[in-house]
């Protein structure tokens, strides 16, 4: 469904070029949920913006391959936005207009993507709201966002994404603003929609529980680089890249009760820095002199990772 190879994005700034994405490889099969994992500043949201054609003015984009559903789309990716690709943002309250009814906001989306008379648009809105599990969708059309709970608002945002007709959804931390129970319901809804409608979802998250419960495969990003990719079970049970290992070791569940939590010491290199060798070298416990050169891509057990160590 999506195949990106060696995507880079550079933004202009007074401090010099900002290498916000250095080397992103992403391969996603139709009908799967693919996690995009990493700490803040690793390039998750910028990757989503590149996919939506929403990069800031002056952004320089390059890629060896940028294929969507079999077609090369480099340079025209924004034509897919709203037609094939839609975004589910992390804050539903901010995504919805507080002074317009849900009906009006659903109608605006449907009208801009489907040439239908008003009664059919309204019927479509009711159908899609019902498909997201919202009770009494007919009555919901007359309500305002502030009259809904956070979980209901997120379902409306998902309904808007579906109303565009898009079959590829980018879910940007979709449960961050929700409590645990409601977040779990939203994730279940996304899984159900993938199964029933054949959607493909890119799940941006820093939450490994979300990855474990929801995703089929995942890609780990570091400093704007894809450092590891694989099936979720293998990735979480046997992480190969030292950064993925450090990320998982830093989870609260990984530490014995009462013990000090592990941390990945140091910080991500700033985007102003050029990185001729391994981007993780300054923080990696296994770094050697060889790591000053670009690491090779390795493959085993369905996983791929970039590292000089044969078995990190
Ligand atoms: S290439 Fe070297 S520095 Fe980079 S992750 Fe592997 S061992 Fe660590």
Report how far residue 264's alpha carbon sits from residue 250's, in angstroms, rounded to the nearest whole number.
7
* Closest protein CA for atom 1 of ligand 1: 307
SS3 category, 15: coil
The answer to whether 210 touches 191, Cβ cutoff 8 Å, is no
CA nearest 202: which of 41, 55, 29, 43?
A: 29
CA 300, 305, 311, 312 torsion-angle sign: negative
Q: Is residue 114 part of a domain?
A: no
The answer to whether 94 touches 106, Cβ cutoff 8 Å, is no
pLDDT tens digits, the chain, 312 residues: what are they?
A: 999 999 999 999 999 999 999 999 999 999 999 999 998 889 999 999 999 999 999 999 999 999 999 999 988 888 898 889 999 988 888 999 999 999 999 999 999 988 999 999 999 999 999 999 999 999 999 999 999 999 999 999 999 999 999 999 999 998 887 888 888 999 999 999 999 999 999 999 988 889 999 999 999 999 999 999 999 999 999 999 999 999 998 876 666 666 666 677 788 999 999 999 999 999 999 999 999 999 999 999 899 999 999 765
Structural element, H or E, at residue 154: helix 150-163
Q: Is residue 150 part of a domain?
A: no
Q: Is residue 153 part of a domain?
A: no
Report how far residue 122's alpha carbon sits from residue 177's, in angstroms, rounded to the nearest whole number.
29
End-to-end Cα separation, the chain, in angstroms: 31
Q: Is residue 62 part of a domain?
A: yes
Residue 63 CA, ligand 1 centroid: distance in Å: 24
Q: Is residue 141 part of a domain?
A: no
Structural element, H or E, at residue 10: strand 2-11
Report how far residue 253's alpha carbon sits from residue 113's, in angstroms, rounded to the nearest whole number.
45
Q: Is residue 260 part of a domain?
A: yes
List the domain range (segments joined by +) for residue 233: 2-84+166-306
The CATH number of the domain holding residue 233 is 3.40.50.300
CA nearest 50: which of 90, 78, 28?
A: 78
Using DSSP bridges, classify how beta strands 217-222 and 33-37 pair: parallel, antiparallel or unpaired: parallel
Best mutation site among 277, 286, 288 for ligand 1 pocket (most ligand atoms within 8 Å of CB): 286
The token pair that represents 308 in the structure block? 């000089």
Q: Is residue 77 part of a domain?
A: yes
Residue 154 CA, ligand 1 centroid: distance in Å: 40
Residue 25 CA, ligand 1 centroid: distance in Å: 18
Q: Is residue 148 part of a domain?
A: no
Residue 104 CA, ligand 1 centroid: distance in Å: 53
Q: Please count the structural domains in the chain.
A: 1
Q: Which residues does a 6 A CB cutoff place in the pocket of ligand 1?
A: 242, 278, 280-281, 284, 286-287, 291, 295, 307-309, 312
Alpha-carbon Rg for the chain in angstroms: 21
């Amino acid at each position: 469904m999506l195949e990106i190879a060696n995507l880079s994005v550079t933004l202009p700034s007074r401090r010099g070029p900002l290498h916000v994405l250095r080397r992103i490889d992403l391969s996603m099969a139709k009908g799967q949920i693919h996690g995009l994992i990493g700490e803040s500043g690793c390039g998750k949201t910028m990757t989503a913006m590149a996919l939506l054609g929403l990069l800031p003015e002056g952004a320089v984009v390059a890629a060896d391959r940028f294929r969507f559903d079999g077609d090369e789309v480099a340079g025209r990716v924004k034509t897919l936005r709203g037609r094939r690709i839609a975004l589910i943002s992390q804050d539903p309250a901010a995504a919805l207009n507080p002074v317009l009814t849900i009906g009006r906001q659903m109608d605006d989306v449907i009208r801009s993507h489907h040439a239908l008379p008003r009664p059919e648009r309204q019927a479509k809105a009711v159908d899609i709201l019902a498909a997201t599990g919202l009770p009494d969708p007919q009555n919901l059309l007359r309500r305002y966002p502030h009259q809904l709970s956070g979980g209901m608002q997120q379902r409306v945002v998902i309904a808007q994404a579906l109303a565009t007709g898009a079959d590829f959804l980018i879910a940007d931390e979709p449960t961050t603003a929700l409590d645990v129970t409601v977040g779990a319901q939203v994730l279940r809804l996304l899984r159900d929609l993938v199964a029933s409608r054949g959607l493909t979802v890119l799940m941006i998250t820093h939450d490994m529980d979300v990855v474990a419960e929801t995703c089929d495969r995942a890609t780990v990003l570091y400093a704007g680089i894809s450092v590891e990719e694989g099936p979720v079970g293998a990735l979480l049970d046997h992480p190969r890249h030292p950064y993925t290992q450090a990320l998982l070791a830093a989870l609260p569940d990984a530490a014995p009760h009462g013990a000090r939590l592990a941390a990945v010491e140091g910080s991500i290199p700033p985007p102003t820095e050029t990185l001729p060798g391994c981007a993780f070298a300054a923080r990696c416990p296994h770094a050697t002199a060889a790591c000053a050169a670009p690491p090779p891509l390795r493959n085993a057990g369905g996983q791929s990772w970039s590292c000089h160590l044969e078995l990190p």
